[in-house]
Chains A and B, each alone.
Chain A
Amino acid sequence: MTILGLPEEEYIMSGNASCPGCGAALALRHVLKALGKRTVLVIPACCTSVIQGLYPRSGIGVPVLNMAFEATGAAASGVVAALKAKGKDDITVVGWAGDGGTADIGIQALSGAAERKTDFIYICYDNEAYMNTGIQRSGATPYGALTTTTPVLGKKEHKKDMPMIMAAHKIPYVATATSGYPKDLYEKVKRAKELKGEGTKYLHILSPCPPGWRYDSKLTVKISKLAVETGLWILYEIDRGKFKLSGPSKRLLDPSKRKPVEEYLKLQGRFRGLSDEDIREIQRWVDENWKNIEKMMETE
């Protein structure tokens, strides 16, 4: 019997090495359900380098090419080119990288691949810091979060807006998602797969991380949903240039429908150092993001 109408096939095998409550592994499970068997993953240094398990076994049921940290977009370009040279057109090439490997060290190779209209799907699973190396600040770490490289004061800058950077590349598909809404994620990956032949498709998945965000591992789905319900993480897709809100975010344009950001922040130890002023700053940032969304929808 299927749940949420998702395929029963599993490509994340038991015995994989993810932490309990890992939002990234949960997301990858649904991503691969949408992609199916005829998929090649290119994975740079990130948590999934470990999650996949030790040689000579693999906890992932599709081929994986492990790659250097900053090179996902480029290595995937090579795989895509070889497929083209060999006349194979029924394989989906997917880059699967963390936020550090995407927003920081890997942004050049990704931008280059997107600009060249490389026909692949790039997915950033965003746990908002260098989690595999032990919770260091990345460009995607949110304002105020304590990390091991912002251990006392917390991060002083807001998160880099990676999906909009990719949207500026005028690629056929950009979407945001989060681990707590698997059906929404599944549909978006399906859509990205459908757009084969049109260039680079980009998905950005907010993936809660119990050890890094410092919360009880049973709360992953709750926190993922709260990120959306507070408006901190906005679910949308830009499909061939057309912007639309998706999932629960559709009804959150009205600020009164959004839960206060505290509800999300207070569950996580990484935000324990926030002052009232910091919380106001985060709320201001959220409201401003929504104003920008509103403007974008008006100009549509």
Chain B
Amino acid sequence: MGKVIITTGNYSAAYAAKAAKVDVVAAYPITPQTSIIEKISEFIEKGEMKAEYIRVESEHSAMAACIGASVAGARTFTATSAHGLALMHEMLHWAAATRAPVVMAVVNRAMGPPWNIWSDHVDSLSQRDTGWMQFYVESNQEIFDTIIQAYRVAEDPEVKMPAMICSDAFILSHTSQPLEILSEEEVEDFLPPYEPPFDITDVDHPVTHGNIVWPEPRGDSPVGYMEFRYLMHQGQLNAKRKIKEIVKEFEKKFGRNHGDLIEKYKVDDADVAIVSMGALAAQAKYVVDLMREEGYRVGAIKLRVFRPFPDDEIREVTKGLKALVVADRNISYGYKGISATEIESALYSLEKRPLVLNFIMGIGGRDVKPEDQRKMIEAAFDIIETGELTKEAEWYGLLR
């Protein structure tokens, strides 16, 4: 059992980077992430953490530096939000295609204009196709634990893909909760030092990383570009299995389990379940408990990992449900909520599948109270009665 302190989500991320004994941190300030890198600066300057810290001049450079450090054999960490993440976009692709197991704390924040620093998941969900694994967490403890787990997954030779751990602006980042800190020694037992597959600074065995590959096999290359992309896809698919194994191992060692790809709560006998990402998943469980007391057969599903996408797990957990409420703190303009489209796509192959009600809510940090989640769930029960489902996603709480 580690030491329990009361601290914010951002400090929880900083403590995790310290516990994971990262070698190199490269980061740039942006609200609401900043206190992560401030805390890490403090650790390093006080000599409590032994890492090289590159105070870069942009997020684009932060990710480029993490890639450079990673291929030179370092365990790397960075953190960002919203516009910083968007600026990194090119380097997110580069990191994943480099197979650099960078781990990054993303504090989800709305994109401007207009300026808005509150929670919204569009920033990270827009990075869906970069090759990064994405975890969405509900508590400060889960931030800490998932960063540790993510290094294990990302650095696994069968995965070798970077990971972002996404937490809601202010709701977690600046809110204090109890946090059990694992010591460096406890963590090292679970997460041994990084063994890179190659080292760009090994001048006795020089390698060239990233030079031109043609569409088809050409010259001495037995493969073309497409095969490299397939290997990335394979890495992501392998991560589904690895995440489950590593979460189990973590639970055995430290006694905590926040779910693997998903977390299900009282779903087994339910007619309706609500799917959430991030902090609202915690509140959803509270709402489920209240409604259960009144006799509603309702459960909650936390979509903990968005990439690799838990399609089998979604099909399995929704078996027997009559309706599924998918609450999205994001919008894909011109269509609907981003997680709803993914979930519907996973359900399509089933002959018998639940009705899916998609709510767009909490955009730009708009408060979502337990009674709001309750209303969404009630709407699902109404629809079971009437059987009438409007296809369009509903903007919950929109002022017209």
Which residues on B sit within 8 Å (CB–CB) of A111? 57
Q: Is the CB of B91 within 8 A of A68?
A: yes
Q: Is A77 an interface residue (CB 8 A)?
A: yes
Mask, B153-190, CB within 8 Å of A = 1, is 00000000000000000000000000000000000000
CB-defined interface of A263-289 with B at 8 Å, one 1/0 digit per residue? 000000000000000000000000000
Given A38-B203, A74-B56, A79-B201, do A109 and B61 touch, yes or no (CB 8 Å)?
yes
Cα of A70 to Cα of B220 in the assembled complex, Å: 30
Q: What chain A residues lie within 8 Å of B220 (beta carbons)?
A: 54, 56-57
Query: Which residue in B91, B206, B212, B219 is a CB contact (below 8 Å) of A71?
Result: B91
B211 sits at the interface (CB 8 A): yes
Query: Which of B68, B211, B221 is A79 in contact with, Cβ under 8 Å?
Result: B68
Q: Contacting A74 at CB < 8 Å: which of B64, B201, B219?
A: B64
Partner pick for A91 among B26, B201, B212, B218, CB 8 A cutoff:
B201
Interface-forming stretch among A58-66, A209-217, A219-227, A241-249? A58-66
- Closest Cβ of chain A to B190, distance in Å, is 21
A98-118 near B? 1/0 per residue, CB < 8 Å: 000000000011011001100
Whether A112 touches B74, Cβ cut-off 8 Å, given contacts A54-B213, A58-B211, A78-B24, is no
Find A78's partner among B72, B203, B218 (CB 8 Å cutoff).
B72
Q: Is the CB of B200 within 8 A of A40?
A: yes
Closest CB in chain B relative to A173 CB, distance in Å: 21
Q: Are A68 and B90 within 8 A (Cβ)?
A: yes
When each residue 78-96 of chain A gets 1 if its CB lies under 8 Å from chain B and 0 otherwise, what string results? 1111111110100100000
Q: A83, B72: Cβ atoms under 8 Å?
A: yes
A111 to B57, CA, bound (A): 9
Interface pair A75/B211, CB less than 8 Å apart: no
Task: Find out whether the CB atom of B200 lies under 8 angstroms from the CB atom of A65.
Answer: yes
CA A111 to CA B200, docked complex, whole Å: 24
Across the interface, B67 reaches (CB within 8 A) one of A52, A78, A108, namely A78
CA of A80 to CA of B56, assembled, Å: 13
Partner of B58, one of A52, A80, A112: A112
Verify if A195 is at the interface (C-beta below 8 Å from B): no
B239 interface contact, C-beta 8 A:
no
Binds A, one of B47-55, B106-114, B325-333, B356-364: B47-55
Is A77 within 8 A of B68, CB to CB?
Answer: yes
Tell me whether A67 is interfacial, beta carbon within 8 Å. Answer: yes
Are B52 and A82 neighbours in the complex by a CB distance under 8 Å?
yes
B264 to chain A, nearest CB (A): 40
Which residues of A from 37 to 56 have beta carbons under 8 Å from B? Answer: 37-40, 42, 49-50, 52-56
Task: Note all chain B residues with C-beta closer than 8 A to A27.
Answer: none
- Given A82-B24, A109-B61, A116-B54, answer yes or no on A64-B208 (Cβ-Cβ < 8 Å): yes
Say whether B201 contacts A88, CB under 8 Å: yes
Q: In the complex, which residues 15-68 of chain B have their Cβ closer than 8 Å to any Cβ of chain A? A: 23-24, 26, 51-52, 54-58, 60-62, 64-68
| Minimum distance in angstroms from A83 CB to a CB of chain B | 6
A163 contacts the other chain (Cβ, under 8 Å)?
Answer: no
B54: contacting residue among A40, A65, A78, CB under 8 A? A78
Pair A66/B70 contact, Cβ less than 8 Å = no
Residues in A whose Cβ lies below 8 Å from that of B68: 42, 65, 67, 74-82
Q: A63 to B203, Cβ gap below 8 A? A: yes
Report the nearest B residue to A69, measured CB to CB.
Answer: B90
Q: Does B143 contact A (CB under 8 A)?
A: no
Tell me the bound Cα distance from A119 to B221 in angstroms.
35
CB closest residue in chain B, given A11: B206
| Residue from A61, A78, A84, A115 in contact with B64 in the complex, judged by beta carbons closer than 8 Å | A78
In whole Å, how far is B87's beta carbon from the nearest beta carbon of chain A? 11
Known A-B contacts A58-B211, A78-B68, A82-B69; the reply to A37 vs B203 at CB < 8 A is: yes
A-B pairs with beta carbons under 8 A, tally:
167
Q: Could you tell me the distance between the alpha carbons of A86 and B58 in the complex, rounded to whole angstroms? A: 25
| Residue B207 interfacial (CB < 8 Å) | yes
Check if A73 is an interface residue, CB within 8 A of chain B. Answer: yes
B286 partner residues in chain A, CB cutoff 8 A: none
Distance of A55 Cα from B201 Cα, bound (Å): 19
CA distance A79 to B70 in the complex (A): 8
Evaluate contact between A77 and B211: CB separation under 8 angstroms: no
Which of A37, A39, A53, A56 has the most CB atoms of chain B within a 10 A radius of its CB?
A56
- The docked-state distance in angstroms from the alpha carbon of A52 to that of B52 is 31
The yes or no answer to B94 lying at the interface (CB within 8 A) is yes
Q: Mark interface residues in B311-341 (1 if CB within 8 Å of A CB, else 0).
A: 0000000000000000000000000000000
Q: Are B57 and A53 in contact (CB under 8 A)?
A: no
User: B64 to A75, Cβ gap below 8 A?
Assistant: yes
CB of B202 closer than 8 Å to a CB of A? yes
Cβ contacts under 8 Å, A85 to chain B: 23-24, 51-52, 69, 74
Please give the distance in Å from B26's CB to the nearest CB on chain A: 6
Q: Give the chain B neighbours of A82 by CB distance below 8 A.
A: 23-24, 52, 68-70, 72-74, 201
Min CB distance, B140 to chain A, in Å?
Answer: 28
User: CA A115 – CA B55 in complex, angstroms?
Assistant: 10
**Which of B52, B73, B76 has most chain A Cβ within 10 Å?**
B52
Whole-angstrom CA separation of A174 from B66 in the bound complex: 27
Q: Is the CB of A81 within 8 A of B65?
A: yes
Is B52 within 8 A of A65, CB to CB? no
- Check if B71 is an interface residue, CB within 8 A of chain A: yes
Give the nearest-CB partner of A41 in chain B: B208
Candidates B60, B61, B73; contact of A86 at CB < 8 Å: B73
Which B residues from 195 to 215 make CB contacts under 8 A with A?
Answer: 200-203, 206-214
B55:A81 contact, CB within 8 angstroms: no
Given A40-B200, A109-B57, also A66-B209 (CB < 8 A): yes
Q: List 16 A-B contacts (CB under 8 A).
A: A54-B214, A55-B213, A55-B221, A56-B220, A58-B206, A63-B201, A63-B209, A67-B68, A67-B210, A68-B90, A74-B65, A75-B64, A75-B67, A78-B67, A82-B74, A108-B61
Q: A63-B200, A79-B69, A116-B55 are in contact. List 6 more A-B contacts (CB 8 A).
A: A66-B211, A75-B67, A77-B26, A81-B52, A86-B73, A112-B61
